Amino acid sequence: MKSRLSLFVLCAGLLTIGLPVIALATDAPPAAPAKSESKKNITIVVLTAKPEAIHAAALQALAAIGCEVKKDAPLSIEGKRSNKIGLAVGSGGEKLFVEIKNLADGKAEVTVTTKKTMVGIVGQKLWNEEVAAQISNAVK
Amino acid sequence: MRSSKLIAGTLLVLSLGLTGCISSVQPTAFPVGDKHLAAKPSGTPIQLFKDAKPTRPFDVVAKLNVHIEKTFFIPSAFDEALPKLEELARQQGADALVDIVEKKSRLNETFIYNVTATAVAFSDAR
């Protein structure tokens, strides 16, 4: 009986970290950043700043939310928040993508995308708006 | 009975392996400018200017960030981040920390603590 109970508890734990939602999330980066601003996990801003300045600000913004940079190129950055086990849902595991597109007149388009991953999805959050706001404030 | 325990153990190991630890500490330094100063030895005191700027002339050498997250509703505070900030400052060859900004937030059961600081080196000391 006890072992059945412990099995139930463990299964419930695994459920909270998101194993049943494998179909809803993949670890693959987005093929192309969507232009639709209606998507909650994507924030697009146009800034009057050099791509280098935006890149530097993006690195700091990602660090400020606990993102570890996995890929770093002049016009794109990929980061991931580390997974943490918790009492119920834990946290972390989100992937953040920052894409910088150079526009005319000294402007640049910045696309920040949050991608939730399957492990710990229940405790994950969309960080794109916060990161985009920090980048915007830093390059003002 | 034995197989149930085995399955339970496997699931436990699997869940722990998948989710990682209960806390993370992430210190990051972003050097400023082209001058890179030599790192200071471990234990070198770093001055803190929380509410005021130093009166001595200084150059900014880096922007520092320490990010701490803990689950299980465990909070973090400046005292925990300070050694990491000082270590980063020494690595950048800084003498002091200014513009210290703390941010606290919560995500479900996770307490998030983030502190940023500007590492500076006194120009009259070089």
The CATH number covering residue B97 comes to: 3.30.110.70
Do the domain assignments include residue B71? yes
Structural domain of residue B102, as residue ranges? 21-125
Quick check: B107 and A91 CB within 8 A?
yes
Q: Is the whole model's pTM more than 0.90, yes or no?
A: no
Of B52, B38, B101, B105, give the one whose Cα is nearest residue B75: B105
The first and second tokens of residue B46, run together, are 């770093």
Query: Residue A118: pLDDT band by 50, 70, 90 thresholds?
Result: confident
Q: Is the confidence at residue A89, as pLDDT, over 90?
A: no
pLDDT of residue A46: 97
CATH class of the A2-138 domain in this structure:
alpha beta
Give Cβ neighbours of residue A94 (< 8 Å, ≥ 6 apart).
A80, A81, A114, A115, A116, A117, A124, A125, A126, A127
Do the domain assignments include residue B66? yes
pLDDT of residue A116: 95
Do the domain assignments include residue B1? no
Cα separation, A10 vs A36, in Å, equals: 40
- Helix (H) / strand (E) containing A80: strand A76-81
Reading across the β-sheet that carries A95-102, which strands appear in turn?
Answer: A42-48, A107-115, A95-102, A76-81, A67-73
Residue of A nearest to B1 (CA): A3
In a mutational test of the B interface, the residue from A2, A68, A84, A124 whose CB has the highest number of chain B CBs within 10 Å is A84
Handedness of CA A123, A128, A132, A135 (dihedral sign): positive
Cα separation, B88 vs B94, in Å, equals: 9
Tell me the chain A residues in contact with residue B4 when contact means C-beta distances shorter than 8 Å.
3-4, 7
Contact, B88 vs B126, CB < 8 A?
Answer: no
Do the domain assignments include residue B34? yes
Cα separation, A1 vs A8, in Å, equals: 11
Low-confidence ranges of chain B (pLDDT < 50): 19
Number of separate domains in chain B = 1
Q: What is the mean pLDDT of chain A?
A: 81
Q: Is the confidence at residue A48, as pLDDT, over 80?
A: yes
> What ranges do the domains of chain A cover?
2-138
Residue A25's SS3 state is coil
β-pairing, B47-48 vs B96-107, is parallel
As a whole number, mean pLDDT of residues A21-30 equals 39
Do the domain assignments include residue B79? yes
User: In this prediction, what percent of chain A has a pLDDT beyond 90?
Assistant: 61
Quick check: A3 and B4 CB within 8 A?
yes
Give burial (CB, 10 Å; 0-12/13-18/19+) of B31. middle
CA distance B115 to chain A (A): 8
Contact, A96 vs A62, CB < 8 A?
Answer: yes
